[in-house]
Amino acid sequence: MVLQLTTPVQNKLVGVMQTSNPEQSGLDPSPLQLRLARSILEHGLELLAAHESKLSEAALAQRLGVSRTPIRAALIYLSKSGLIKPLAGRGYKLESNATVIRSALSTMARSDEDVLTERLLADRASGRLAEEVSETELIQQYGVPRGVIRRVLMRLASEGVTERATGHGWRFAAVLSDRRALQESYRFRLLIETSVFGQPEFRLPAREVIRLRLVQEDLAARASSVTHAEYFETNRMFHDRLAAAGNNRFLYQAVRQQLNLRRLLEFAWPQPITAEVIARQCHEHIAILAALEANDRPAAARFMQSHLADAIGAQS
């Protein structure tokens, strides 16, 4: 798979495709490296919104939940494109502005696994796939190797979207067959996400609160031109970051599962996203962050409760 690019900076990525792994010159980047490169650029947009530009290998590995080796390969891949550049000491620096990075993201190729993941979700949501399927059926329907099918299904299983059935069968989460699941998910999130702020180990550094606020302010200012994908990812990141700050692994796991399931629910029951909705939700997020900046966690919990309750009302 190659990148379809339109700008001089992006076109450099085509040549990089064959050398993105410093250990394996001549091989295409792995699906993981492509996914990480995209995630790094998305994180780069957050940094630019907060007037920052430095990329740390260690911080990225922790943030994205992988080892430093694939992070390093993805950074080298991006550096050869000119989007980022290595620093004299350690780490990398964003070399492009937000407009160039968004353009690169919009045209960056996705791995076969990412494309197949979205097709499976869309086909299940539309009813073209049954709730329970076999690997053989999927191989025949999509014309891809068993290894690719299995990796995608296992990835979805880690997100709570699929589970193993008898033999080589797999079962999709039942949420796709019932519209009420969307409201039930929001009600569950209302319970667990508001409780995050009451955790005794809750900790969100002031610098991180400011960064999150600047990202939300930037998104609100661009509400009329924000894509659905950017809005969805920025929204997911906001809720994920606050849940992680609770330092309760069980709460965090529950929140992450709901955020992952929401992606599946979006395929099943897509919601219209207008500039007004984006701006309003950003300002609700900013109110939560303002309470945290004032060290008023009870107020942050109340704002989160109101924010999620509004989302429930919108589904009625």
Q: How far is Cα 276 from Cα 100, in angstroms, rounded to an integer?
A: 25
DSSP-derived letter for residue 167 is: T
97 and 160 belong to one structural domain: no
270 and 220 belong to one structural domain: yes
91 and 16 belong to one structural domain: yes
CATH number at residue 39: 1.10.10.10
List C-alpha distances in Å: 23 to 27, 56, 92.
9, 20, 19
Of the candidates 184, 280, 195, the one whose C-alpha atom is nearest the C-alpha of residue 235 is 280
CB-based contact 306:284 (threshold 8 Å): yes
- Give the number of other Cβ atoms within 10 Å of residue 300's Cβ: 25
Q: How far is Cα 312 from Cα 183, in angstroms, rounded to an integer?
A: 6
Confidence of residue 17 (pLDDT cuts 50, 70, 90): very low
Residue 30 belongs to some domain of the structure = yes
Q: How far is Cα 306 from Cα 293, in angstroms, rounded to an integer?
A: 18
pLDDT of res. 289: 98
Confidence of residue 177 (pLDDT cuts 50, 70, 90): low
Residue 1 belongs to some domain of the structure = no
37 and 78 belong to one structural domain: yes
Q: Which amino acid is at 46?
A: E
Range of the domain at 210: 180-315
Q: What is the pLDDT of residues 67-80, one digit of tens each?
A: 999 999 999 989 98
Residue 286 belongs to some domain of the structure = yes
**Tokens 């690997």, residue located:** 135
Residue 3 belongs to some domain of the structure = no
Q: What is the pLDDT of residues 251-264, one digit of tens each?
A: 999 998 888 888 77
Q: How far is Cα 303 from Cα 311, in angstroms, rounded to an integer?
A: 13
* Phi-psi label, residue 91: left if phi above 0, alpha if psi -120 to 50, beta otherwise: left
User: Which residues make Cβ contacts (< 8 Å) with residue 82, sequence separation at least 6?
Assistant: 9, 12, 95, 96
Q: How far is Cα 174 from Cα 176, in angstroms, rounded to an integer?
A: 5
190 and 273 belong to one structural domain: yes
Q: What is the pLDDT of residues 100-145, one digit of tens each?
A: 998 888 888 777 888 898 889 888 877 889 989 999 999 999 999 9
Give the SS3 label for residue 218. helix
Residue 266 belongs to some domain of the structure = yes
Locate 186 and state its tokens. 């929001």
Cα–chain center distance at 221: 21
pLDDT of res. 29: 74
212 and 161 belong to one structural domain: no
Q: What is the pLDDT of residues 263-295, one digit of tens each?
A: 776 766 667 789 999 999 999 999 999 999 999
Taking the complete model, does pTM exceed 0.95, yes or no?
no
Q: How far is Cα 237 from Cα 190, in angstroms, rounded to an integer?
A: 17
pLDDT of res. 85: 92
43 and 121 belong to one structural domain: no
155 and 215 belong to one structural domain: no
102 and 185 belong to one structural domain: no
pLDDT of res. 167: 80
188 and 304 belong to one structural domain: yes
Q: What residues are paired with 134 via a beta bridge?
A: 169
Total of domains in the chain = 3
Q: How far is Cα 5 from Cα 14, in angstroms, rounded to an integer?
A: 8
Confidence of residue 10 (pLDDT cuts 50, 70, 90): very low
